[in-house]
Amino acid sequence: MSESASMDHKIYVIIVTYNAMRWIEKCVNSVLDSSSKATLVIVDNNSSDATVETIKNKYPQAILVENKENLGFGKANNIGLKIALEKGGNYFLLLNQDAYLKEDTLQKLMLQMETHKGYGILSPIHLDGQGNQIDLYFQTYINPSNCKNLYSDVYLNKKMKSVYDVRFVNAAIWLLSKKTLQEVGGFNPYFFHYAEDNDYVNRCKFKSLKVGVVPDAFAYHDREQQVRNSNPRNLANLQDLKLMNPNSNLSANKMIRLTFKKTIKALVNWNKSDFLDSIRYLKKLYSTKKQVAKIKNEIKNNPYPFLN
* Short-list 166, 222, 220, 162, CA closest to 198: 166
Q: Sign (positive/negative) of CA torsion 141, 146, 150, 151? A: positive
Confidence band (pLDDT; 50, 70, 90) for 17? very high
Nearest to 171, CA basis, from 37, 81, 88: 81
Strand blocks (E) in the chain? 11-17, 39-44, 63-66, 91-96, 99-101, 119-128, 164-165, 173-177, 210-221
What letter represents residue 289's amino acid? K
Q: What is the pLDDT of residues 49-98, one digit of tens each?
A: 999 999 999 999 999 999 999 999 999 999 999 999 999 999 999 999 99
| pLDDT tens-digit map of 163-221 | 999 999 999 999 999 999 999 999 999 998 789 999 999 999 999 999 999 999 999 99
Q: So what's the pLDDT on residue 228?
A: 61
* Domain ranges (residues) in the chain: 3-221, 235-301
Is 277:235 a contact under the CB 8 Å cutoff? yes
pLDDT higher for 103 or 2?
103
Model pLDDT, residue 123: 98
Residue 221 contacts residue 98 (beta carbons within 8 Å): yes
Say how many C-beta atoms besides its own lie within 10 A of residue 39's C-beta.
18
User: Given a cut of 80, is residue 296 above it in pLDDT?
Assistant: yes
Alpha-carbon torsion angle 211, 201, 297, 283, nearest 10:
170
pLDDT in tens, 31-60: 999 988 999 999 999 999 999 999 999 999
User: Would you place residue 5 in the very low, low, confident or very high pLDDT band (cuts 50, 70, 90)?
Assistant: very low
What pairing do the DSSP bridges indicate for beta strands 91-96 and 11-17?
parallel
Taking alpha carbons only, the member of 157, 159, 203 closest to residue 183 is 203
What pLDDT shows up at residue 36? 84
Q: What is the per-residue pLDDT across 235-285, written as a single tens digit (0 to 9) for each? A: 678 889 999 999 998 999 999 999 999 999 999 989 998 899 899 999 999
* Residues 11 and 39: beta-carbon distance below 8 Å: yes
In terms of CATH, what superfamily is 3-221?
A: Spore Coat Polysaccharide Biosynthesis Protein SpsA; Chain A (3.90.550.10)
> What count of Cα atoms within 13 Å lies in the side-chain half-sphere of residue 288?
20
- Cβ-based neighbours of 281, under 8 Å, separated by 6 or more: 235, 236, 239, 259
Confidence of residue 3 (pLDDT cuts 50, 70, 90): very low
CA distance 53 to 237: 34
Q: What percent of the chain has pLDDT over 70?
A: 94
Q: Find the mean pLDDT for residues 102-110.
A: 96
